[in-house]
Amino acid sequence: MTIETVGIVGAGQMGNGIAHVFALSGYEVLLNDISQESLDKALVTIGKNLDRQVSKGKISEADKATTLGRIKTTLTLTDLGQTDLIIEAATEREEVKAKIFDTLLPHLKPETILASNTSSISITRLASRTDRPERFMGVHFMNPVPVMQLVELIRGIATDEPTYTTMLDIVARLGKTAASAEDFPAFIVNRILVPMINEAVYVLYEGVGNVQSIDMAMKLGANHPMGPLELADFIGLDTCLAIMNVLHDGLADTKYRPCPLLTKYVEAGWLGRKTGRGFYDYRGATPVPTR
C-alpha cells in the first residue's frame, strides 16, 4: 500500500506533533480540528518546534519551510476522506472517537487505512464499528511526538498483514522505532506507566510524602527524568484517569482502581499544565506544589 497523503483528526498536543513528523518525512498532511483557533495554534507550535530543530542543526531552514508547506488545515472532517491514511488523535473518550469514524466512513476511499492514536482503548472494538476492520490499527505515538522515539503499533483482531507491514514501513520512514503490542487495555507503555503514576497519587493521598518529596524520590532514587506527579501534569490528569478507568473496567482487577485524589483533581478541573494547575500550580514564574 502506497501512502502519500495523511489526514490527522485533532490539532492538540498529539495531533500537531504527528502532523509535524509526517510532514517533515515527506508526506502531504491535512490537519483537522473543530476549532480554527486550535488549528492556528497548532501551526504556531509546529513552527516553534521546527525552529528548535533548526537551532540544534537537525534540519535546515529550507527543511522547515518545505515541512510547513506540506501541512494544510480544515475544519471539515469529511475533507480527510480522500487521504491514504487517517490518524485519529482526538480526546481519549471512546464515544468521541467512534463518532469521528462514523462521520468519516461514507467519504473514505476504499483503500484508505484508518488508525487511532488512542493510548488505552480497544482497537478491535473501534475497528468493529467501521467498514474496514482489516485496515484499522492502533498507532500510539509518545509525547512529545517530534522528540520521542517509540511508536506502539497495535493490531486489532481483524487487522490484516498488509496494513501492519505498511504501518511498520511508515514508522521507519518517520525515523522512529515500532514496538508491536497486543490489543489489551492500555497496551504496553501505559499499562506499566500510568499505574505507577496512580500509585504515586495514592502515596500522596495517604500522606506518605508530599508532591515535592515523591517527585524528588523518584528522580534521584530511581533516576527518572521527571517525577511521577510532574509527569502526570504533563500528560494531563484527565488522560491518566481515563486510562486507569479503561484498565480497571477492562481487566477487573482492584490494583487498577483510580486513586480518589486523582478523581478529585479532575473534578476540580485541575488537569495539569494545560489548565495551569494540577499537582503543581503553573500560573507563576516557577511551578509550585499544590500539596
Q: Specify whether 20 is catalytic.
A: no
Q: Specify whether 60 is catalytic.
A: no
Q: Which one of the listed residues 92, 122, 140, 198 is annotated catalytic?
A: 140
Percent of the chain with pLDDT over 90: 97
Q: Specify whether 152 is catalytic.
A: yes
The pLDDT tens digits of the residues spanning 73-97 come to 999 999 999 999 999 999 888 999 9
Q: Which one of the listed residues 32, 49, 119, 198 is annotated catalytic?
A: 119
HEC secondary structure over the chain = CCCCEEEEECCCHHHHHHHHHHHHCCCEEEEECCCHHHHHHHHHHHHHHHHHHHHCCCCCHHHHHHHHHCEEEECCHHHHHHCCEEEECCCCCHHHHHHHHHHHHHHCCCCCEEEECCCCCCHHHHHHCCCCHHHEEEEEECCCCCCCCEEEEEECCCCCHHHHHHHHHHHHHCCCEEEEECCCCCCCHHHHHHHHHHHHHHHHHCCCCCHHHHHHHHHHHCCCCCCHHHHHHHHCHHHHHHHHHHHHHHHCCHHHCCCHHHHHHHHHCCCEHHHCECCEECCCCCCEECC
Q: For the chain, list residues with pLDDT below 50.
A: none
The predicted pLDDT at position 74 comes to 98
The predicted pLDDT at position 49 comes to 97
The predicted pLDDT at position 78 comes to 97
> Which domains does the chain show, CATH number per domain?
5-181 (3.40.50.720), 195-289 (1.10.1040.10)
Q: Which one of the listed residues 49, 116, 122, 190 is annotated catalytic?
A: 190
Q: Specify whether 140 is catalytic.
A: yes
Q: Which one of the listed residues 92, 152, 198, 230 is annotated catalytic?
A: 152
The pLDDT tens digits of the residues spanning 181-212 come to 999 999 999 999 999 999 999 999 999 999 99
The predicted pLDDT at position 1 comes to 75
